[in-house]
Structure 1
């Protein structure tokens, strides 16, 4: 894995600034970034672009005193999470108290159903939600409440205020998508783990302060069903050294069997605590660790959507994909058999040294980068078939030249998608012009970027 000099929080701040600048750009001061934006750098790399974005964000945050505003949504979520965990503690304790009641006898399986039943059902829903990709199933009611609680106050604020925009950006980035799925999953597992620990702790305190007899009984099930279930549940517990009642102690605990001695009560108490640990707490700890690791992995893999108009515009001012252009007088429809050298020392250092260059419906006045020669210009079905055959035989990168002054119609989109599906190397999209003095309009540029996204061409491989 490549070393990264930024973390997920940096990307969150960039997304917050994107929302703020989109909605409240006129209220911000750009004095600190004015000079930086005046000197674009030729050539594109994601790391360099991100470094410039972070440098620009640092100036904007400092000049506009946005630190507290950007950090507020996370603080609210942390507070809401703590409230949910306190609620889990209360619910776990109340569940144990209600399950024991005022009687001096405890129905062992009723206790297990109350403390483990809902927990087990929650794990089934979470597993189904993660497997099927349904975020509503993988996050419990409590975790959903923690997600929405901090943002109820947004209704009380101005809809497009800087604080509201920053909160919405943090909400979308951190609580939705893959990152949000694992963040909410982690909170869900923490909720049930605290619920179980609180219930188990309350039970232990009750058993320390009061003497209970443990009983079992059934009306509809066969007589030997619950004793057999007890032995099945006890088997994994015995492997880690937790004691369980033997067959005689199980039989002596049948409802109506008579008084119990201390050894029977002690065996059932250890069985109850062991079952809560093995079938409740330990699975939740494992799932919480898994969710935590997946959260960190999803945060590490998170990347900005460089196809968004905001980043497309900044890309042109911070790191522009500039190339030396020259008019190629030769007919761009004349094909060459060998790949051409498209990168020269000092220029186009991010382009591959050898590539197959294909044009899409270009005229003879198009301006190509210096040293780049079109090997086939797709203008009809015959030239498309020739280009397809060339790509199939080529093991080099593919450069696709298009007329940037045009909007990509459906025909051009189909051609590009067909060509990119056949390419075996890297794919680049080059936005060409008839007149270098006339800049490409933002609407057309964004249309070509979205076409690149639909064709799985990386944003950093779109040259203009």
Structure 2
């Protein structure tokens, strides 16, 4: 079964990109003409194009399959670890209870089941607090466990394609707390399974063997154990677990509790304490860490300032690309004059700006110097038409108040597309006469000349006469003034 068709998650896509970057920084750039071409077919988003390039290169060089093998191997490892945790928990329960030949010391039994768990939980909390207060918030909690886990998985696969995977993963997770949450989720999950296995072991052994219970002390008063037992049993009692009363606790200090009711109370107390103070906290922390890990993984992004990525910017986001109308032209393009406006219906003049670059001021200087007087027909500057809402509003306004002359300013540095040409046709339909002004038209050389030629050809297909395209600002403003 091949892994090439398996979909990568967004996090794994960034992991693959980091792997490619590290390899290229150490061993030189790869031949990537096909990968760059595939990336440049995506939207103008630098990271998205980097990820696409890395996916093509990763599939060609074998890194993608190696990453997927890692994912499968880690899942198998987690399954084995989960099974071992259950077995170890059951073994721990059998160890603290014994074979039933001697009474169970309830203090030692509870300490043996919860002691290491509580100590490791305290260390984890301290590590997370120290990590949160460290400079830069770099997570240290779980770092040793994470490195050990990565080393174990690496030993199982020593192929050349996997050499960069551990370092790439560490570098990707090293800038946030995602690694700590991931290790925490695994750690707490395994602890929950181990403690759950211990609880299952207690239940099975209590069901199949007869145990007596006792507590022992040399220097502490009996009241200490009575208070401790009742305090620890408060939360389990809320969940329905039995708790020994004060008389039962006192009697267990003199001799092993052999009465059936007393044995059941002690057995229920042990299982309840194990669940409430062991299994449930670990389950809650495992769920919380899993949620935080998923959120952190969604926020993980590539550091695009790294040299390995920065050198790709010019190739993945070139200043200019192949020009031309990129969308296929429909069989029938809209043409002005199909609905038309009767000359007697138009009044005044108006001008609009269609998707101008932000570096082009609006309204232009000649209009500010000699503003168009608004008439009853609404002859005035309608401003920029950048959003869909602005376009709809302008079309509705001109439909209700058609101008005698409408000047549509365009940015000739942009390549005309089907949408912009169609909007020009719709605007022209709502005026008696319409002109197009190539605002700040570039010198007619090279790519600039080619784009201007494409505008002329596009307007000609809309049946605009050649003189309807104005290059000179004075001519455009004069034509607009004549319509007043």
- TM category (shorter chain) comes to 0.5 to 0.7
User: C-alpha displacement at 1:172, in angstroms?
Assistant: 3.8
Any conservation in 2 of the 1:73–1:167 contact (CA below 8 Å)?
no
TM-superposed deviation, 1:62:
3.8
C-alpha deviation, 1:100, in angstroms = 1.6
Structure 1 residues 28-51: Cα deviation after superposition (integer angstroms, max 9, x where no partner): 55242254578999xxx7xx1122
| Distance in 1 separating the partners of 2:311 and 2:103 | 72
Q: CA deviation at 1:74?
A: 2.7
CA distance in 2, matches of 1:232, 1:38: 67
Aligned counterpart, 1:151: 154
Report what 2:313 is aligned to: 315
TM alignment of 1:53-452, pairs within 5 A = 53-102=50-99, 103-133=101-131, 138-139=141-142, 145-152=148-155, 161-173=160-172, 177-254=176-253, 256-257=254-255, 260-320=258-318, 346-347=356-357
Show the counterpart of 2:337. none
Residue by residue over 1:297-335, the C-alpha shift from the partner in whole angstroms, topping out at 9 and shown as x without a partner, is 11122111111001111112112578xxxxxxxxxxxxx
1:22 aligns with 2:21: no
Shift of 1:127: 0.6
Given that 2:55 and 2:64 are in contact with CA atoms closer than 8 Å, whether structure 1 keeps it comes out as no
Which whole-Å deviations, capped at 9, do the CAs of 1:265-297 have from their partners, x for residues lacking one? 111111111101110001001111110111011
Cα pair distance change 1:62/1:197, threshold 3 Å: same
In structure 2, do the counterparts of structure 1 residues 96 and 194 end up closer, same or farther at CA, with 3 Å as the change threshold? same
Report deviation, 1:176: 8.0
1:8 aligned onto 2:6: no
Report Cα offsets for 1:70-113 as digits up to 9, x if no partner: 22333333333333323322322222222122334111111110
Kindly indicate whether structure 1 or structure 2 has the higher relative contact order, using CA contacts under 8 Å at least 6 residues apart: 1
Alpha carbons of structure 1 residues 51 and 137: separation in structure 2 relative to 1, 3 Å: closer
Instruction: Name the Cα RMSD after superposition.
Output: 3.3
The answer to whether the 8 Å contact 1:105/1:212 transfers is: yes
- Contact map agreement 2:96 2:108 (CA 8 A) in 1: yes
**Residues 174 and 183 in structure 1, CA contact (< 8 A), matched pair in contact too:** no
Q: How many residues align?
A: 316
SS at match of 2:222: coil
**Which is greater in Rg?**
2
Aligned-partner Cα distance in 1 for 2:31–2:178: 31
8 Å contact from structure 1 (residues 190, 284) kept in 2 = yes
- For residues 110 and 50 of structure 2, the distance between their equivalents in structure 1, rounded to whole angstroms, comes to 54
Q: Aligned to 1:138, what secondary structure does the other structure show?
A: coil
Mind listing any 5+ residue stretches in structure 2 that lack a counterpart?
Answer: 1-7, 321-353, 363-484
Whole-angstrom CA distance in 1 between matches of 2:177 and 2:148: 19
| Closer, same or farther: CA 273–283 of 1 in aligned 2, 3 Å | same
TM-score, normalised with respect to structure 2? 0.58
Partners in 2 of 1:151 and 1:176 — Cα distance?
A: 22
Q: Which residue number in structure 1 is paired with residue 332 of structure 2? A: none
Per-residue deviation, 1:17: 1.9
Contact 2:241–2:269 (8 Å) recurs in 1? yes
**1:199-225 Cα deviation digits (max 9, x unpaired):** 111121111111001111212322211
CA shift, 1:166, in A, is: 2.9
